[in-house]
Amino acid sequence: MTRKEYNKCVDLYSDRVYRFIIKNMKHHEDAQDVVQNAFEKLWLNREKVFFEKARSYLFTVAYRNMIDIIRKVKRIDWVESVPEQIQKSKSKTFELRDSINLGLSQLTDTQKSVILLRDYEGYSYKEIAKITGLTEAQVKVYIYRARKKLQQILVSVEKAI
Amino acid sequence: MKINKLNYEVYAIDYIDGTLPQDLEAEMETFLNMHPNIAKDIAMMGEMQLVPDTSIKFTAKNDLKKPMSFSILNYMNWIVPVSLSLAFMAAYPSIRTLWHNDKAASTVIENQKNRQIKPVSRPISSVDISEQSNETNAELTVNEVIQYNKTNKLSSNTKKVVSNNSNNSIDETFNTIILETEKKPAISKAMNSSLLADNERIIAKNDIEKSIIDFGNRAILKEEVKSEQLDFLSAYPNSLNADYTLDTKKIDKLLTRKKGFLPYMAFTIVPLNIGNDLAKTTTITPENQLVRNIPVANDNEIIISNPKSFGVEMDIHLSELFKVGTGFMVTNRNILYSTSNGNTNTDLGIQYRTYSVPFMGALKMPLGSSGLNTLNIKGGAVVNWMGEMNYQANHTGSLDLEKNNTASLFNTTDLTSQLITTNDELTFVPSLQFGLEYTRQLGIGQVSFALDYNRQMSNISTINVWDYDIDTQFRTNQALYNMRYESVTASVKYTLPYRWYLKRK
């Protein structure tokens, strides 16, 4: 990968990696560190990583780094109380987004990661398995459980509203 | 039974996605019939997909980027075309001299040895001139004719030219001019005496050479001055003589004394301009790109295909070499959808249309000419005032809500459809253009064939690729792609014969 391609990767993927990580970590500084580490690693390995594979590489590195931090630091607030957080907004879109954020915060880290990789990034189950180090079957189960849980939360939020 | 309460989760997602093999699907349905609670969960789940919140941005991008080691690369977009054009302009006088020395002047003058002089007796409109040959027929280039009329009232200006010139080889050239004495003996006598004067010969010789150089070696007036020839001479008055221009309305009084070039306006129709977009395989960035391949879900791509345009131009020729202009062009591109293996492109049936009003300044320099037909090299800068829209020929959902952006819909995954819209705001976009143009004079007007390289110097269009729910017509912003075009185009143009002179003498 050339220097120019690396810079292109920053333009192309930094927002996306960050979006993925921040949804998992909540802490802005930690998420920024993870993104920076991932790009630093990409830069160090630029001779080996092809431009076309850079996206997967960044997500893989960032994901693993994030898991390490989560396990070590253990300062993630997973659960937020649902009813208090809901505010009626003008548009239906906004309501939906709020509810989904609330739902996401109640998933486990793995559930959250796999569903974000699937829905945000459009990765196949096979690719998600590669990034997360899980088997394809595990990925499918995690995604199923995550969707089920989100569904339940959305229903409860609707009732609350 | 393979699917049971312990393992059904592995198959559930494939079942929702519809990718489960047939036998397993049947088995799954049997299982779900036996477990209605699970069936209910699965039924509700099929409608859900998370959408990225694009308002979340990584703000420290510049900290991640590495400085370009050779920063001039950043400016290659500008440096290459600008330096090429400067180099060409610097070398242009030498290139022209080479061309004319080799091709035009020498051959014509050599062919015209051993002729006799006869005085001319007729006005220019009826001078009887033959083709080049060794026969004793009259043969005149435009300037020769002009010169003979001019000698009847030799001006102080021409005398000044004479005094600066001391070319002794005039006789040979001048002897080639054959003139007939028929109808107007008084004029012919005066001309004859003038022609014999050395000073006049020198003037005539200079004009002949200038004429040959500027006008090409086969630009010989025959019988009458044709209208398109007059057009040409009006457009290039310096081809005749810097002091004279032609009055195209009164053929009997061709010569009018004047100074300088008369700016004029001309109208051109461009019925066809087809292009090939360059650099298709380069990977794009959202910020800045020259290509039209847009990656969408699962590494598939949207391809904006080669442009076809038509329109009109209006040019003001400020000098022989420089013109400014404007016009209106309509450009169509097709949008294709390419699957991840890159082998199959599906035409989405979308016409992606750009409207532009160019504001152009261009230099046009003749490389050579053949009679009234010229080959020019041209280059210039264009600022296009552009707006875009796209419309689609086929889609699978109702798009009534898409009022501002007529939109196009296509399926990319089983989970969702995607929608393409383009920015319909008007934008000013600078671009550079270089090329060759061959212009051929017709009986009425002229036709040109041009080959151009076009490069936009800033982004123009924003292609939006949305996730789109056909049922609810709900869309969420998936991605924005700013594009700029780089293309080679071939065009045919027809210029109307009428010219509007901005000032007259």
Spatial contact of B190 and B99, defined as CB atoms under 8 Å apart: no
Which pLDDT belongs to residue B117?
A: 37
**φ/ψ (deg, to 5) at B121:** -130, -5
User: Model's pTM, two decimal places?
Assistant: 0.40
Relative to beta strand B308-317, strand B322-338 is: antiparallel
- B283 vs chain A: nearest CA distance in angstroms? 9
Closest CB to A12: pick one of B49, B286, B413.
B286
Interface of B with A in 291-330 (CB under 8 A): 297-298
Dist. CA B226–CA B477, nearest whole Å: 63
Partner A contacted by B401 (CB < 8 A): no
pLDDT at A94 over 70: no
Per-residue pLDDT 10s for chain B (505 aa) are 578 777 888 888 888 888 888 888 888 888 888 888 888 888 877 667 777 777 788 888 888 887 765 555 556 666 777 788 788 777 776 665 554 443 333 333 333 333 333 333 334 433 333 333 333 333 344 444 444 444 443 333 333 333 333 343 333 333 333 333 333 344 444 444 444 445 554 555 555 445 444 443 333 333 334 455 555 655 655 555 444 445 545 444 344 434 457 788 999 999 999 988 764 433 333 332 232 334 444 556 667 777 899 999 999 988 878 899 999 998 887 777 666 555 666 666 666 777 888 899 998 887 877 766 788 888 898 888 876 655 443 333 333 333 333 334 444 444 455 666 665 566 788 888 899 999 888 778 889 999 999 887 776 666 666 666 555 555 565 566 666 677 889 999 999 887 788 865 4
Partner B contacted by A147 (CB < 8 A): yes
Burial class (CB in 10 A: 0-12, 13-18, 19+), B114: exposed
Dist. CA B206–CA B234, nearest whole Å: 20
Which pLDDT belongs to residue B463?
A: 66
- B282 vs chain A: nearest CA distance in angstroms? 11
Q: How many CB pairs under 8 A join A and B?
A: 98
List the Cα angle B419/B421/B422 in 5-degree steps: 160
- Contact between chains at B286 and A11 (C-beta distance less than 8 A): yes
Dist. CA B328–CA B334, nearest whole Å: 20
Q: Could you tell me the two tokens for B305?
A: 């295909």
pLDDT tens for each residue of A67-78 = 888 877 664 444
Dist. CA B329–CA B311, nearest whole Å: 4
Partner A contacted by B403 (CB < 8 A): no
Spatial contact of A112 and A73, defined as CB atoms under 8 Å apart: no
pLDDT at A148 over 80: yes
CB atoms within 10 A of CB B2: 11
Q: Which residues contact B464 (CB under 8 A, 6 or more apart)?
A: B405, B419, B420, B421, B422, B423, B477, B478, B479, B480, B481
Spatial contact of B95 and B367, defined as CB atoms under 8 Å apart: yes
3-state secondary structure B233-256: HHHCHHHHCCCEEECCCCCCCCEE
CB atoms within 10 A of CB B56: 15
Dist. CA B310–CA B332, nearest whole Å: 9
User: Of B213, B194, B219, B214, nearest to B204 (Cα)?
Assistant: B194
**Which chain B residues have a beta carbon less than 8 Å from that of A141?**
9-10, 13
Spatial contact of B254 and B461, defined as CB atoms under 8 Å apart: no
The residue among B3, B8, B11, B13 with the most chain A CBs within 10 A of its CB, best to mutate, is: B13
- Contact between chains at A22 and B56 (C-beta distance less than 8 A): yes
Closest CB to B58: pick one of A14, A116, A119.
A14
Q: Which residues contact A107 (CB under 8 A, 6 or more apart)?
A: A115, A146, A149, A150
